[in-house]
Structure 1
Amino acid sequence: MSPRHGIPHRTGATGLARRQFAADPWVSLGLALLVGTVALLLTAVPRGLVDVQSRQLVQEIGSLSAAQRDLRGDWQRTVVFGSTQDLTGDPSADGWAPLVEGAERVRAEQPEPLRSTLGPAQFLVRLTDTVDYAPPVESGYYAATLSLAVDPDLTEHVDLVTGDWPELVVDPPVFGPDAPQQEQDDPEPVPVVLLDEAADELLLEVGDEVQGLVVAGTYTPTEPDDPRWQHVDNGATLGTLYDPNLGESAYATAFLSPDNRGSIGQPASVRMRMWFPVQPGAITGSTGQVEALRAQVNGFLAEQHTLATADEIGDAGAAQVPLFTTDLTEALGRIVSQQRATSSLLAVVAAGPLGVALAVAALGARLVVHRRRQALAMTLARGASPGQLRRLIAGEGLLLGVPAAALGHLGATLLVPGPTPWWQWLVTAVVALVPSVALAASVDDASLQQRRSDLSSRSASRWRWVVELAVVGLAGVATWRLLDRGARGDGAGQSGIDLLAAGTPVLLALAACVLTLRLYPLPLRALAAALRGRPSLTPFLGASRALRDPAGGLVPALAVVLGTAIALVSAVLLSTVTRGAEVAAWEANGAAVRLNGPLLSDELRAEIEQIDGVVAVGGVADTGATRDLVVDGERQAIRVWAAEPQVQEVYARSAPVPPLPDEFWRDEGIPAVVTLLGADEMIPDDATEVQVSRLGEIEVVGHRDQVPGILVTGAGVLVDGERWVAAGGSMPDVTTTLVGVADGASPQAVADDVTELVGTGGVVTTVTTRLEAFEDAPVTTGLRQLFVGATVVSALLTVLAVVVVQLMGSTARTALLATLRTLGLGARQTRALTAWELAPLLVTSLLVGTLLGLGVPWVLLRGLDLTGLTGGSAQPALSLDLPLLAAVLGAVVLTVLIAVTVSAWIAGRTNLAQALRVGEDR
């Protein structure tokens, strides 16, 4: 019969799915929203990490001086012919062409990314002879030194202020036995160009002569901040050096004609320098790419690079082969370590919220099926097969997940611009399948009837035991492998993310949840028995329902455990890295203020001590000779470092710099020493007699890998300077001065006064500037945002998990509450009953998560290298910031209370009439 006679068409699978979705769309849409959010985070967070690492990489490379990061080559040569015309007879010949072409050939031969990182080579010739003279008294300088140099590209980088460019004036060399008679008695002065500032300070004008030189003109740098000037000493600024006894001396560079080859007459010995400028903006990429660049730079330094042959130069006796050096490889090594640490921390912290999100997605899928239980059961009863039902609901999951995941991915690409590697689309595709798989897995093959599932420490399913033992076993093995990494010398993080460090916390959380759910029924059963005899119904009924009809099981427990653990792990790791950076800054600087450069004379020490806020001035220096370390008759070579007695007060004022042992400073008995770097391995614990040449018998009272504020490059011992002098030695020259600052005084003000005192003759650094640089670094800001974001996301997911758990048990709870409300149960008691159902499990999970959150950082610090983040040479110690931990734990507890309150409020809105009518229909 047709529909016209009252018999409708048979409803197909699509129509059935549409009707089921339309009847209760909100949970399904919520599941799609969760999937879209997860896809957005999984796409945005890695892109954000790449952006942070790229900006940090540029900052790290940019913070190096050009002299440190550039690939610089130095060599000595003798220039016989100062002009190309005298060398070749061709006035149009370019004397620099062979070197320039050779340097470009060397650069073009390098592999990528090194070739793109290096800029065109630049050259500088500096004559070994300098011009020293006494400037006018009115200048304020007691002495001045002019260094002669040739920059073939000078005219491209400076602007002429007065006068003219210097002409090429070179007396051709004369050889033979009668050469002295042919020398000119009054040679023509050589024109040079000076920095305008230097000429003003030294009271020199165009046309003035200084010992065979004549000032042809003055210049100012076109770009004074151009990194190239860091290779040209005193080329962009006038150098000064302060002497407490004599005053200030001045240092300037006088440039010869750019056409000069490095001689002003007779054959001259010159220092040649060329450098390939490193462009910080060109160094980008992942850990593997930076590691490849470091390997290429190391390979470049290990090879010999011939710029020009002896025939190409003409008057050179050998090929021009520079010796290249750079500090770039050390910086790239720090960057690689830093990128590994940040990637691993990202994986550790993000694994928690991701695990909670997947658990909530699975729980949401169960809720969708649970709310359709009656319809699905009717569909099975009318002949549908379980396979058809799974395909139907899996198709609905695809319709929900694919658009949501795609929108989340596209939203992330708009929020965080950058390249999109192929694997990000693969991750998005996997996320898109989550609703489909979770919905299909939630369909029961049977009649979908409700069953009791009492909590018990014993299980009837042997597969549960297998899975739980596997989880606990994996967690134990992962923890053991992580803790034993140092002993094995395992470089597990060499390629980027440390998967072992990232997976161990999640496995520990799963194992903790397994053990919690196994042991949790025992105290809960005891609590229900204790509440049985009390007159109040709500506590006993709530505890009994939590025992007999648990709605969530593992999922809410895992959500709370992971949420609590991630919040505390983030707080502990953040405080540990911050404290580690502070310790590293103090150990690197040695004191609140450090001065490098000038010799610490008694006069300079007195001048610094007169600065307001300074309480002690001292230093540590190498005695300059190799000494014999005799251990039970066995001799080994070491270096001896001597510490001035003032260093004791400096270190005392420089917490957290570890002070030297009190025994080190004793002035009686055998000398006490502290071993440095690898010297401790030379002296076994059972050694009976230890001696150092000149000192005699010694007592080792401690060990330091490095002396705070001093760079120690080899095995040695540190001794009190007064004991060293008493033994017949002399106190070495101190060029690194440590300045102790009084409590309440401004280190920056002291540093400014010291800088004003020494001028450009020294470099002053402070701990404050180091710490400010750490705080402002992109990686520090990124980690802070990561930790806060992970905590917030985990908290929101925890609330969502608890609410979903409440909705899972809403059907049975609503029927019970409707009956109890009819019998006189109040709305307040209804909400309390719901809270009692959730509270025991959530409180237990909260305690387990707290213990896990404090224990996981201890495990991670023994397997995850954080020195790349702190900048120190040693792994930072675990640091617990109690106020921060209390605040974070309070926020977690508040989150759980909010989740319980929301669940209780939802349960308290029971419609008695509707619930009773539904009961009658059954």
Structure 2
Amino acid sequence: MSAPRFTAPRFTAARLVRRQLAAEPATGALVAATVLVVSLVLSLWPRAVDALLGDDLHEQVTSLTPAQRDVTGRIAAWFTYEPGPGAPGDADPSLEGDELDGSAHLAGWLEQLEGNRAAAGDQLWHVLGPPEAVATRPSDPIDKGPRAAGVVAETLAIRTDLRIGDRVRVVEGRAPAAYDTGGLYDAGSPLDVVRDRPLELMASVDTADRMRWAVGETRLMTGVVPFRVTLVGTFEAVDPDAGYWSHLESTLFPFIDEDGNVGTTVNGTAYADPSALPALVLADGVAVDFWYPTLTAQTATADHADLLRELRAFLAEAGMTSELTARLEDVTARHATFTGLLQVLAVGPIGVALAVLWLAAVLATERRRGALALAGVRGASRTGVRAALAAQGLVVGVPPAALGAWLAALLVPRPSAPVAVWVLAAAVGLAPAACMAVAAGPAMRAARPARPDARRADGAHSTAGPSVSGALRRRARLGLELAVVGLAAFAVWSARGRGLGGDADGGTDPLLVVGPVLLALAGGLVALRLYPLPLRALTRWLHSRRRLPHFLGAAETTRSARAGLAAVVALVLAVGVGTFSGVTLSTVGSGVERTAAAAVGADLVLEGEGLPADAAARVAALDGVAHVATVGNAGRAPGRLLGSDGRVDVLTVEVAEVAAVQAGLPGVGALPALAADDGALPAIIGGRDPEDVGDGGESFVRWGSDLAQLAFEPVAAARSLPGVSAGSAWVVVDADAWAARTGAAAPVARVLVDLAPGADTDDVATAARSALGAPDDAADRPGLDAGPRIATTSTDAVRASVGDRALVRGLTVGLLAASGLVALLAVVVLGLALTIRAPERGRLVALLATVGAPRGTTWRLVAWEVVPLVAVALATGTGVGALLPWVVLDVADLRPFTGGIAHPPITVDAGVPLAGVGLAVVITVLAVALAAARARRTRTVVVLREGERP
């Protein structure tokens, strides 16, 4: 009986990869976790940015009134009794047809407008709603009736709308009946027919009440066409806030014209049945207003570039107008700045993540050096070894990358994600395979045993070949380093010259996007070249001292950059991105503060009519109030400002009080002195640029019952004064000087309040309103004697309003996310750099222990390995982070994030560098402690046995 035959198990490629991964699971898990995080962030980033841009577009469109954002048009229509098609937008718009059916004409217009919308383009068709069209006969005088006491005259515009029944609710009476147009144009004079056929109308409750027009009452219009009109009903809007009413002014409420010289005129609007349209066009025709409502909710998911292109073409072809075009153009510029900043931020974490993957690949190959050497001895080719390591990289890279992309799709679902999202995830998944394949080459060369024929016959080393190749490598490395530094300088120059939207298509300059990585790489190269110089001097000094651990640590750090270029550049980039993020947040925050200060002009402003003369004293007596100033409004009078005639608002202030209130407000300058002598009143001229003061020209207003001329001496000019005034024609003078010249103080129009430290704005505002006599709810005043209607504004409210905008929230989250991610990755980089050196460090510690080295030797050696690296990275990274704001923020338009009209200055918060140094100290201490603890676990016997190997 023969002995059993044993055969070695057959190792397939898959089994070999599995065995190698199982032999070093920690490294594979680290790579997989890094890939998962990076893939999730890179897949989430474009989706989140796309959602933020959509929210911002929706915010910007919603901020316009419906009449501003809707696509609108107007034509004049009249009646020609000739068959043929006709619709709004035709060169000769008219009411045509064999039948006098106004409803049919309105329906035909709407049908053609809907056809135009269907052909407008995919993006625009989804954003524009179904068309609206109304026909309005211009206002004509109408009898004011017997009950309109105090009214000099009344006018009435008559409107028709097919869908008015869906928009209003009849309160009294009924809706108008159809108008009989039979024989209207058969008679010799249509005016005689109209005079004998009363036209039924319905008006809003407020219009009928203000015109004193009772339901059932018939009145005569005294214009060219003598319509007899009967009010048969009153209505109220189903939705008074609907966009429909913003297109039709003076419909729900009449327009009241108060003229002190003439009297009160009431201008109302009423609705007739659409069948009356052929009669309404008599003589002067009707104005047809038509528009497409903008569906604001649809703008959040629209491609604003395509939407803008389609909208321009549609407006040009249809002859319509909309302020949506200008707003979309502004949004395009805003989004270019926003995406440019986020792209610059995103490159930082990507660069650090690539360094993590590279160091993890180096660690994996270093741990497999023995296996690689054995494979080389057994005849394995370099290509085969690289392929095996690449396969391991695919196993630990592709599944986590796919998982990250899938999680991003679940967290931020988008109807159509950009292709770049999937491309980035795929690139991250393939990165470990590429890094491990490239890192295998140096590891195989280091593991290869020295060749016996590497010595000459006389026993001396042959150095000719290595010397030449080493010199060539040094020259090539120096040339490459100089090229990187030159490219970084060119990126800075390009960014300074072109900015965040320098491309012809409005995209971001690619050199600006990769600028942080280039600057970090250049800084790291320069640091690696320079920082050994002081260490060599320190090593020589330590050589003569009895400090063996310090001498060994300094010597090891001097000989080479132990962490490698990748670790240095990654740490420099992490510090630079963190610093840039902090400076950007500080700059945007200071810009928002300046915006709030310029918009309000004080911590709190109370404004309204009928404020008491002692308003300042009442508010100053409240708790939480530090200083108070008032702005008086003397009224509007004819005058001349710097040579321009017109009506001028005269405002009065006390400069010292305003200065006390506005002390400390960022960006708010002090008012010039306005004290007056017996000559002209010193004044600040509004609505002008500062340089206009030198142009000369007399300035005055005519004041009083006898219109006496009060001369001004312009001492300054401004477009606006925070807290005082903004507008096109105003003048600010000293309150006491004005009272002395006119004999009366100007009524108080505004109260500026400087709050005491710790005071609550809302509490002070409530107390101030009560002290000034305002009712608890000014919106529901029972009568005119209920007290002044006071509006309050605070810097806190403006600051919160600006900070709640989509782009500001997105930028803040992006900056914080980028800083947190690079900080986390920087810890991983430092850990990997120390782990790669762990075997050599452990052997050195074990050997030193055998010769009696003190117990603190381990952490001192680790500290010498970590502290110079962190210090160099912190110094160089801070320099890079300080340079990036000058490169990026100085050419970026940050006004969309601050809400101001001026570019905010770059601001550095002192807490930013302090936070960076503190975090670096904490990371360094933890890294030293963990690395030292691991080094002490290396057993001396293992080191000695390794030293016995041939």
Tell me how far apart the structure 1 counterparts of residues 880 and 191 of structure 2 sit (CA, whole Å): 92
1:658 positional shift: 3.4
1:675 positional shift: 10
- Aligned residue number for residue 910 of structure 1: 938
Partner AA of 1:442 in structure 2:
A
Q: Is this contact kept in 1: 2:659–2:671, CA < 8 A?
A: no
Residues 46-85 of structure 1: pairs in structure 2 closer than 5 A: 46-75=46-75
Change (3 A) 1:299 1:656: farther
- Aligned residue number for residue 798 of structure 1: 826
User: SS where residue 325 of structure 1 aligns?
Assistant: coil
In the alignment, structure 1 residue 478 sits paired with structure 2 residue 491 = yes
- Aligned residue number for residue 295 of structure 2: 279
Unmatched segments (≥5 aa) in structure 1: 306-323, 452-457, 630-636, 684-688
Instruction: Choose the corresponding residue for 1:524, options 523, 535, 539.
Output: 535
1:799 positional shift: 0.8
1:29 positional shift: 2.8
User: SS where residue 863 of structure 1 aligns?
Assistant: coil
- Aligned residue number for residue 538 of structure 1: 549
1:282 positional shift: 2.4
Q: Is this contact kept in 1: 2:640–2:698, CA < 8 A?
A: no
- Aligned residue number for residue 880 of structure 1: 908
Instruction: Choose the corresponding residue for 2:805, options 755, 777, 785.
Output: 777
Change (3 A) 1:535 1:775: same
User: SS where residue 843 of structure 1 aligns?
Assistant: helix
Q: Is this contact kept in 2: 1:591–1:709, CA < 8 A?
A: yes
Tell me how far apart the structure 1 counterparts of residues 870 and 653 of structure 2 sit (CA, whole Å): 58
- Aligned residue number for residue 467 of structure 2: none
Q: Deviations over 1:300-323 (max 9, x none)?
A: 445563xxxxxxxxxxxxxxxxxx
TM-score of the superposition, structure 1-length normalised? Answer: 0.78
User: SS where residue 658 of structure 1 aligns?
Assistant: coil
1:356 positional shift: 0.5
User: SS where residue 879 of structure 1 aligns?
Assistant: coil
- Aligned residue number for residue 308 of structure 1: none
Tell me how far apart the structure 2 counterparts of residues 620 and 121 of structure 1 sit (CA, whole Å): 47
Q: Is this contact kept in 2: 1:690–1:698, CA < 8 A?
A: no
Change (3 A) 1:242 1:128: closer
- Aligned residue number for residue 658 of structure 1: 668
- Aligned residue number for residue 304 of structure 2: 290
Tell me how far apart the structure 2 counterparts of residues 241 and 606 of structure 1 sit (CA, whole Å): 30
In the alignment, structure 1 residue 424 sits paired with structure 2 residue 421 = yes
Q: Is this contact kept in 1: 2:601–2:752, CA < 8 A?
A: no
- Aligned residue number for residue 328 of structure 1: 324
Unmatched segments (≥5 aa) in structure 2: 82-93, 221-227, 450-470, 621-627, 701-710
1:646 positional shift: 3.7
- Aligned residue number for residue 863 of structure 1: 891
In the alignment, structure 1 residue 225 sits paired with structure 2 residue 234 = no
In angstroms, what is the RMSD of aligned CA positions?
5.3
Tell me how far apart the structure 1 counterparts of residues 634 and 121 of structure 2 sit (CA, whole Å): 43
User: SS where residue 847 of structure 1 aligns?
Assistant: helix
Instruction: Choose the corresponding residue for 2:396, options 386, 396, 400.
Output: 400
- Aligned residue number for residue 343 of structure 1: 339
Q: Deviations over 1:491-522 (max 9, x none)?
A: 33853444333222221121111111111101
Change (3 A) 1:652 1:116: farther
User: SS where residue 441 of structure 2 aligns?
Assistant: coil
- Give the percent of matched residue pairs that are identical in Structure 1 and Structure 2: 30
User: SS where residue 773 of structure 1 aligns?
Assistant: helix
- Aligned residue number for residue 107 of structure 2: 97
Q: Deviations over 1:847-873 (max 9, x none)?
A: 222232233112212222222333333
- Aligned residue number for residue 389 of structure 1: 385
In the alignment, structure 1 residue 508 sits paired with structure 2 residue 504 = no
Q: Is this contact kept in 1: 2:674–2:734, CA < 8 A?
A: no
Tell me how far apart the structure 2 counterparts of residues 676 and 513 of structure 1 sit (CA, whole Å): 53
Tell me how far apart the structure 1 counterparts of residues 111 and 942 of structure 2 sit (CA, whole Å): 91
Q: Deviations over 1:438-466 (max 9, x none)?
A: 11111236642499xxxxxx996112211
1:40 positional shift: 1.7
Tell me how far apart the structure 2 counterparts of residues 760 and 501 of structure 1 sit (CA, whole Å): 56
Tell me how far apart the structure 2 counterparts of residues 178 and 591 of structure 1 sit (CA, whole Å): 71
Partner AA of 1:282 in structure 2:
Q
In the alignment, structure 1 residue 466 sits paired with structure 2 residue 479 = yes
Instruction: Choose the corresponding residue for 2:117, options 107, 119, 125.
Output: 107
Equivalences, count: 861
Q: Is this contact kept in 2: 1:638–1:717, CA < 8 A?
A: no
1:360 positional shift: 1.1
Instruction: Choose the corresponding residue for 1:807, options 835, 847, 850.
Output: 835
Partner AA of 2:247 in structure 1:
H
- Aligned residue number for residue 595 of structure 2: 584
Q: Is this contact kept in 2: 1:192–1:213, CA < 8 A?
A: yes
Change (3 A) 1:839 1:85: closer
Partner AA of 2:484 in structure 1:
V
- Aligned residue number for residue 372 of structure 1: 368
User: SS where residue 484 of structure 1 aligns?
Assistant: helix
Partner AA of 1:432 in structure 2:
G
Tell me how far apart the structure 1 counterparts of residues 619 and 30 of structure 2 sit (CA, whole Å): 65
Tell me how far apart the structure 1 counterparts of residues 558 and 184 of structure 2 sit (CA, whole Å): 108
Q: Deviations over 1:812-853 (max 9, x none)?
A: 111111122334445554233212211111122112222322
In the alignment, structure 1 residue 574 sits paired with structure 2 residue 585 = yes
For the pair shown, the structure with the greater C-alpha radius of gyration is: 2
Tell me how far apart the structure 2 counterparts of residues 10 and 656 of structure 1 sit (CA, whole Å): 77
- Aligned residue number for residue 918 of structure 2: 890
- Aligned residue number for residue 410 of structure 2: 414
Q: Deviations over 1:467-514 (max 9, x none)?
A: 21111111111111222337xx97338534443332222211211111
1:250 positional shift: 8.7
Q: Deviations over 1:154-210 (max 9, x none)?
A: 10112223321123568999999998996999x787543344566689987644677
Return 351-360 or 772-781, whichever deviates more: 772-781
1:363 positional shift: 0.8
Change (3 A) 1:441 1:513: same
User: SS where residue 514 of structure 2 aligns?
Assistant: helix
Instruction: Choose the corresponding residue for 2:436, options 435, 439, 443.
Output: 439
Q: Deviations over 1:557-598 (max 9, x none)?
A: 2232222222221121122123323433554567778999xx
Q: Is this contact kept in 2: 1:650–1:739, CA < 8 A?
A: no
Tell me how far apart the structure 2 counterparts of residues 96 and 532 of structure 1 sit (CA, whole Å): 100
Tell me how far apart the structure 1 counterparts of residues 947 and 260 of structure 2 sit (CA, whole Å): 99
- Aligned residue number for residue 446 of structure 2: 448
Tell me how far apart the structure 2 counterparts of residues 804 and 304 of structure 1 sit (CA, whole Å): 65
In the alignment, structure 1 residue 850 sits paired with structure 2 residue 878 = yes
- Aligned residue number for residue 458 of structure 2: none
- Aligned residue number for residue 707 of structure 2: none
1:885 positional shift: 5.4
Change (3 A) 1:183 1:816: closer
Change (3 A) 1:329 1:266: closer
Q: Deviations over 1:16-62 (max 9, x none)?
A: 54433332222123212212322221111111111111122112212
Q: Is this contact kept in 2: 1:206–1:218, CA < 8 A?
A: yes
Return 199-208 or 211-220, whichever deviates more: 199-208
Q: Is this contact kept in 2: 1:39–1:428, CA < 8 A?
A: yes
Return 243-252 or 810-819, whichever deviates more: 243-252
Q: Deviations over 1:354-407 (max 9, x none)?
A: 111001111110111111112211221232232322222222222332222222
Q: Is this contact kept in 1: 2:205–2:234, CA < 8 A?
A: yes
Partner AA of 1:557 in structure 2:
V
- Aligned residue number for residue 150 of structure 1: 159
Residues 741-780 of structure 1: pairs in structure 2 closer than 5 A: 741-743=753-755, 768-780=796-808
Partner AA of 1:521 in structure 2:
P
Instruction: Choose the corresponding residue for 1:362, options 358, 365, 369.
Output: 358
Return 344-353 or 23-32, whichever deviates more: 23-32
Change (3 A) 1:54 1:798: same
Partner AA of 2:272 in structure 1:
L
Q: Deviations over 1:389-434 (max 9, x none)?
A: 2222222222332222222222221222112332322222222221
